[in-house]
Amino acid sequence: MNRRLAEQTLIYPLHYLRQERIGAWLSEVRAVNGASRADIARYQRTRLCEVVRTARHSPSPGYAPLRGATDQLTEERIIGLLHDFPPQSKEAMRATVAAGGRPRGMASDYRSTSGSTGLPFQFYKDRYATGFMDAVLYAAYAWHGIAVGDPQARFWGMPLTPRGAAVARIKDLLKNRLRFSAFDLSEGARESYYRSLHRFRPAYFYGYPSLMATFCGHLLEQGRTLRSLPLKAVIGTGEYLYPQERKLVEEATGVPFVNEYGCTEVGIIGFECPRQNLHVMSANIYLEVLKDGRPVLDEAGDIHVTELHTRSTPFIRYSLGDRGILCSAPCPCGSSLPVMQVLSGRKDDYVLTPDGRKVYDAIFAYTLKRGVSRFRAVQTAVDRIEIAIVPGTDYSPELGSRYVRELQRHLGATVTIAISLVDTIEREPSGKLRYFRNAMAARTGRIPEEHGQP
Ligand SMILES: [Zn+2]
């Protein structure tokens, strides 16, 4: 579909039908994105006060710590309340949302996350929140020349029920998207998608990096590329991005790969500029990286977000379970939006070693490189890790033995590393691919502090 037709006859009218004042919100986001650091900080303080006021009116007991004060609510006092507010785990937020119920007196939507930690999460979002999330997205995509209504090739999961799939198809049609299901990577499916792409002629790709890299890798192996498509960029989201995936996709498409960091709960949190730095979307996100409960700069910690636009149940100091760094240095691109980094893996995904250490799961990504086109590692016992590898063309048993030795050097000589070669690695129900799982933690619901049988 033509871009302007999609924008003018479908996408904008849909926003207004949904009572989302998208034009005004987009102007507001653009103003924040172009503002100075001082002005961004001022804007965020004003918004944070608004969010605290909203939370104080919610019936949910989860916000009780914000209701304590009844004296003069100065900006200072409100920001103080916010900084004393305990960081919220997904479990705590689930209870808060359940107690808050469906927002009354305003339009809202039911949303659900796929629950990569094993627990799905359902909640309501009011239209001010959802519309503002879209405004943030439109403004960020424009950095790479992508306009509202531009045709999108989507590399994503596909609902597995016929009704779900039908709804997805209608949504895709209304949003000018063509979907490639993460669940069918067969040669036939790839071939048919390759042909559809050339008919549909998307302006950008959007989806899981692993899925796009797999698709592009197959094409390159056959000596084919996607360079004749009118692409502006490829946007990857939802998974940790490996440098080799970025390279593969850029080689096949001839356009820049742009990394997006976000979640269903609050939308886009970080987005890469043309200098490949991940900027915090400060118009809608107040980002804190907490280490031992205290905000830190230029140090690794746990990522927490507070959404700045909502009229119902705000996500405040919400823990995403990801680790990252909030950087103090400005980006050479000239934007004053702070730069952040997301570190690989979720904080629950540590490898436990027989001598009682927790090793960051990125160890696998760093070790298993050459000859490995994809892998999944599962720790089944403190001294056993099973790794399924989809071998690349230059894989050899010697290389496999070397990987075992290297991993044992980091994790302990008594750890059994069992490698098996497989054709495919199954995705999560959402279509995401996770490369490490601690099956010991999954059984107990937490990472055991001591080694030994959980
Ligand atoms: Zn930048």
Q: How far away, in angstroms, is 361 Cα from ligand 1 center?
A: 28
Residue 118 pLDDT greater than 50, yes or no: no
Task: Give the pLDDT confidence score for residue 230 in this predicted structure.
Answer: 97
* pLDDT at 106 (0 to 100): 87
CA of 337 to the centre of ligand 1 (A): 8
CA 244 to ligand 1 centroid distance, Å: 22
CA of 37 relative to ligand 1 center, distance in Å: 14
User: What does the pLDDT read at residue 310?
Assistant: 94
pLDDT of residue 451: 28
Distance 271 CA to ligand 1 centre (A): 9
339 CA distance to ligand 1 middle (Å): 7
**pLDDT tens, residue by residue, 27-53:** 999 999 999 999 999 999 999 999 999
Is residue 446 pLDDT above 70, yes or no?
A: no
Boundaries of CATH 3.40.50.12780 in the chain?
3-344
> Quick one: pLDDT at residue 441?
52
pLDDT of residue 400: 95
Residue 445 has pLDDT above 80, yes or no: no
Q: Which residue has the higher pLDDT, 235 or 10?
A: 235
* 342 Cα: distance to centroid of ligand 1 (angstroms): 15
Mean pLDDT of the chain: 87
Indicate the CATH number for domain 348-444.
Answer: 3.30.300.30
* CATH number of the domain located at residue range(s) 3-344 in this protein: 3.40.50.12780
pLDDT, tens digit, for every residue of 310-347? Answer: 998 899 999 988 889 999 999 999 999 999 999 865 54
Q: 217-230, pLDDT tens digit by residue?
A: 999 999 999 999 99
What's residue 320's pLDDT?
86
pLDDT, tens only, 397-415: 999 999 999 999 888 999 9
Residue 450 reports pLDDT greater than 50 = no
Ligand 1 centroid, distance to 19 Cα (angstroms):
33
User: How far does the centroid of ligand 1 lie from the alpha carbon of residue 247, in Å?
Assistant: 20
Using the mean position of ligand 1's atoms as its centre, give its distance from the Cα of residue 278 in Å: 7
pLDDT for res 116: 45
Ligand 1 centroid from CA 140, angstroms: 11
> How many A from CA of 241 to the centre of ligand 1?
18
- The CA 130 to ligand 1 mean position distance, Å, reads 25
Cα–ligand 1 centroid distance for 309 (angstroms): 24
Residue 453 reports pLDDT greater than 60: no
Residue 275 Cα to ligand 1 middle (Å): 5
pLDDT in tens, 370-390: 888 888 899 999 999 999 998
Residue 210 Cα, ligand 1 centroid: separation in angstroms?
24
User: Percent of the chain scored above 90 by pLDDT?
Assistant: 53
- pLDDT-based confidence at residue 67 (cuts at 50, 70, 90): confident
Tens of pLDDT, residue by residue over 121-132, are: 788 899 999 999
Using the mean position of ligand 1's atoms as its centre, give its distance from the Cα of residue 305 in Å. 20
Tell me the CA–centroid distance for residue 276 and ligand 1, in Å.
7
CA of 330 to the centre of ligand 1 (A): 8
pLDDT value of position 362? 66
Q: How far is the CA of 281 from the centre of ligand 1 (A)?
A: 12
What residue spans in the chain does CATH classification 3.30.300.30 cover?
348-444
* 114 — pLDDT class (breaks 50, 70, 90): low
CA of 156 to the centre of ligand 1 (A): 27
Question: With helix as H, strand as E and coil as C, how does the chain read?
Answer: CCHHHHHHHHHHHHHHHCCCCHHHHHHHHHHHHCCCHHHHHHHHHHHHHHHHHHHHHCCCHHHHHHHCCCCCCCHHHHHHHHHHCCCECHHHHHHHHHHHCCCCCCCEEEEEECCCCCCCEEEEEEHHHHHHHHHHHHHHHHCCCCCCCCCEEEEECCCCCHHHHHHHHHHHHHCCEEEEECCCCCHHHHHHHHHHHHHHCCCEEEECHHHHHHHHHHHHHCCCCCCCCCCCEEEECCCCCCHHHHHHHHHHHCCCEEEEEEECCCEEEEEECCCCCEEECCCCEEEEEEECCEECCCCEEEEEEEECCCCCCCCCCEEEEEEEEEECCCCCCCCCCCEEEEEEEECCCEEECCCCCEEECHHHHHHCCCCEEEEEEEEEECCEEEEEEEECCCCCHHHHHHHHHHHHHHHCCCCEEEEEECCCCCCCCCCCCCCEEEHHHHHHCCCCCCCCCC
**Which segment of 13-22, 78-87, 436-445 scores lowest on mean pLDDT?**
436-445
Q: How far is the CA of 141 from the centre of ligand 1 (A)?
A: 13
Residue 279 CA to ligand 1 center (angstroms) comes to 6
